[in-house]
C-alpha cells in the first residue's frame, strides 16, 4: 500500500546469496591485500595523530603554567628566581616538542598540523612573554625555531616514538613553528601583556604601562598590515588584540590625567573597574 515501507534494492537478493558471495572472497587476492595495507596505514596514521594530540595538550598545559609563573615577576622580590624557574619549565616543554619532532620523522608536518597547532601557539605565547620580560622586545620566529633543534646528546627518553631502530633514526630532530602559529601566539601574548600592565600598576610601577602601550601599538600596526589578506584565525584575533591595546591605553590615560589624584594602592582597583565597564560596553 501507499503507507508501507519501500524495500531497499539489496533486499531483492536473498541473505544466503550475499553470505555465499562473502565466503567466496579470496583473502589472499591482490585487491584484499591492497585494502589490508590501506587499513594498516590508516590505523598507524590515526594512532600517530592521537599521540600528537596528547603531546600538544601536555605542551599547552605546561606553557600555561609557565605564563602563570611569569605573572609573579612583577610582584616577586627576586625576579631572577622567577626567570630561572620559567626557563626550567620551558626546557620541559621543549622536551615534549622533541617528542613531537620524533613522531614526525619522515612525515609531512602539515598533515598533522591541526593536532599540534594549539600546543605550538601556547608555547610561542609563553616563550615570547618570557623574552619580553627579559628584553622588552618581541622574539622572532627564527629565534624560536633555533631553540627547537634537538641533538642526540639529549638523553631524555621519549615515549610512543616510532618503531624504527635507534641506529636508523637521525641524530638531530627539529620542528619549525609556522608563521601562522607564530602570529596567533603573538596575538595571544597581547592579552598577557595587558594583565601585566594592570598588575604592574597595582605594585606601584607606573613606567611599565607606558612601555607596554607603545609595544602593543607596534604589534597592532603590524597586524593591520596583514589585514584580511592573512588567514581567518589571524584576522579574528585582531579584535581581541585591539581590546587589549584599548585597556592598556586607558590605564596610561588614567595614570597621566589622574595619577596624582589617586593613591597608588588604589590604581589597580580603578583599572579593573574601568576594564569591566569596557567589556560590558563591547558586549563581552
Q: Are 266 and 198 in contact (CB under 8 A)?
A: no
* 122 is known to lie in a ligand binding site: no
C-alpha 71/C-alpha 116 separation (Å) is 25
C-alpha 97/C-alpha 84 separation (Å) is 20
* C-alpha cell at position 279: 567589556
Q: CA 108: distance to chain centroid?
A: 19
Q: CA 41: distance to chain centroid?
A: 28
* 192 is known to lie in a ligand binding site: yes
Q: CA 268: distance to chain centroid?
A: 29
Q: Are 127 and 64 in contact (CB under 8 A)?
A: no
C-alpha 175/C-alpha 99 separation (Å) is 10
C-alpha 13/C-alpha 81 separation (Å) is 77
Cβ-based neighbour number of residue 178 at 10 Å = 17
- Find the Cα–Cα–Cα–Cα dihedral 127, 133, 136, 142, rounded to 10°: -10
Nearest-CA neighbor of 90 among 116, 70, 63, 117? 63
C-alpha 59/C-alpha 185 separation (Å) is 13
CA angle 200, 206, 210 (to 5 degrees): 95
Q: Which residues are annotated as a binding site?
A: 125, 192
Q: Which residues are annotated as a binding site for Mg(2+)?
A: 125, 192
Amino acid at each position: 500500500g501507499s503507507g508501507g515501507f519501500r524495500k531497499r534494492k539489496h533486499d531483492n537478493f536473498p541473505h544466503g546469496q550475499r553470505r555465499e558471495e562473502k565466503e567466496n572472497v579470496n583473502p589472499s587476492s591482490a585487491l584484499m591485500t591492497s585494502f589490508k595495507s590501506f587499513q594498516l596505514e590508516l590505523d598507524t596514521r590515526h594512532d600517530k595523530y592521537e599521540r600528537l594530540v596528547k603531546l600538544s595538550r601536555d605542551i599547552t598545559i605546561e606553557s600555561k603554567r609557565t605564563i602563570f609563573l611569569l605573572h609573579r615577576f612583577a610582584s616577586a622580590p627576586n625576579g631572577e628566581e622567577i626567570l630561572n624557574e620559567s626557563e626550567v619549565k620551558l626546557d620541559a616543554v621543549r622536551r615534549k616538542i622533541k617528542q613531537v619532532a620524533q613522531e614526525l620523522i619522515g612525515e609531512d608536518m602539515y598533515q598533522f598540523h591541526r593536532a599540534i597547532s594549539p600546543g605550538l601557539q601556547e608555547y610561542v605565547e609563553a616563550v615570547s612573554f618570557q623574552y619580553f620580560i627579559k628584553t622588552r622586545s618581541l622574539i622572532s620566529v627564527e629565534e624560536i625555531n633555533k631553540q627547537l633543534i634537538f641533538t642526540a646528546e639529549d638523553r631524555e627518553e621519549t615515549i610512543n616514538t616510532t618503531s624504527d631502530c635507534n641506529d636508523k633514526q637521525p641524530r638531530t630532530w627539529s620542528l619549525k613553528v609556522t608563521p601562522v602559529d607564530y602570529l596567533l601566539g603573538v596575538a595571544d601574548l597581547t592579552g598577557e601583556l595587558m594583565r601585566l600592565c594592570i598588575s604592574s600598576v597595582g605594585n606601584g610601577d607606573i613606567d611599565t604601562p607606558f612601555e607596554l602601550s607603545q609595544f602593543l601599538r607596534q604589534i597592532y600596526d603590524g597586524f593591520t598590515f596583514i589585514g584580511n589578506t592573512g588567514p581567518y584565525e589571524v584576522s579574528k584575533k585582531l579584535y581581541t588584540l585591539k581590546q587589549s591595546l584599548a585597556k592598556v591605553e586607558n590605564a596610561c590615560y588614567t595614570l597621566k590625567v589622574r595619577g596624582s589624584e589617586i593613591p597608588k594602592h588604589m590604581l589597580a582597583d580603578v583599572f579593573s573597574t574601568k576594564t569591566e565597564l569596557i567589556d560590558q560596553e563591547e558586549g563581552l
